Amino acid sequence: MARPRAADYDAKRETILKKSAELFARAGYDGTSLTDIAKACGTSKALLYHYYANKEALLTDIIRDHLQELVDVVREARAFEGSPRDRLEALVRALLEAYRDADHEHVIQINEMARLPKEAQDELKAMERELVAHAKEAILAVNPSLAERPELIKPVTMSLFGMMNWSFMWFKPSKGMSREQYAGLLTTLIAEGSQALTAEG
């Protein structure tokens, strides 16, 4: 008979993932040991093994949980009622909000995924592709003329993610615009910028 999970299992797992993400982001995956993680969590290495057998499993879950949250908020944003531009802005705003307090997880997604075995990478990359597909769909709805310039669709879509993905390097809501305002700025850049590009064609 399987041993039942403790009532606080999920909360402890979440703590382990958050502390691991912080250490991986600051010291690097190679520079962080399970002993370091156990110490940061205020627990024993033996108890840590009850949740994760190795760092690879930890890294996989950190990235998977982060991407799943992004996928969930984007799926919800797709149902936003309004104009195509309103829906694009809702998608951008949802992603920027999901990035709040997730800088460590985001850095790890960008820098450490390649350390995982191919099967795990394939799963996580499929989640990334879903995010890109939803954004591409929203951008095409705002500027249908992009469909006539297919060579522009990927650069425009990935430029949006580039502006969002690297905002953690400099974005300080307390010293400028809010996340909502930044979402509006990015929407304008993508919507009007892509229209200028297709007008040139």
CATH number at residue 15: 1.10.10.60
Whether residue 169 sits in one domain with residue 75? yes
Q: Is residue 2 part of a domain?
A: no
Whether residue 151 sits in one domain with residue 72? yes
Q: Is residue 111 part of a domain?
A: yes
**pTM of structure:** 0.88
pLDDT score of 4: 52
Say which residues have a Cβ less than 8 Å from residue 38's Cβ, sequence separation at least 6.
44, 45, 47, 48
Whether residue 64 sits in one domain with residue 46? no
Whether residue 112 sits in one domain with residue 24? no
Q: Is residue 3 part of a domain?
A: no
Q: Which of 96, 77, 114 is nearest to 160 (CA)?
A: 96
Whether residue 119 sits in one domain with residue 72? yes
Q: Is residue 120 part of a domain?
A: yes
DSSP classification of residue 5: P
Whether residue 193 sits in one domain with residue 127? yes
Whether residue 60 sits in one domain with residue 49? no
Segment 113-132, tens digit of pLDDT? 999 999 999 999 999 999 99
When divided into structural domains, the chain yields a total of: 2
Whether residue 37 sits in one domain with residue 27? yes
Tell me which residue range forms the domain holding 41: 8-53
Q: Is residue 66 part of a domain?
A: yes
Whether residue 79 sits in one domain with residue 26? no
Residue numbers in the chain where pLDDT is lower than 50:
1-3
Q: Is 90 helix (H, G, I), strand (E, B) or coil?
A: helix
Whether residue 87 sits in one domain with residue 45? no
Q: Is residue 83 part of a domain?
A: yes
Query: What is the helix (H) or strand (E) element at residue 193, kind and residue range?
Result: helix 179-200
Which residue pairs, CB below 8 angstroms and at least 24 apart, start in 127-132? 127/64, 127/67, 127/68, 127/70, 127/71, 128/67, 130/71, 130/74, 131/67, 131/70, 131/71, 131/74, 131/95, 131/161, 132/157, 132/158, 132/161
Q: Is residue 169 part of a domain?
A: yes
Q: Is residue 60 part of a domain?
A: yes
CATH number at residue 109: 1.10.357.10
Among 17, 38, 53, the domain boundary falls at 53
pLDDT score of 1: 40
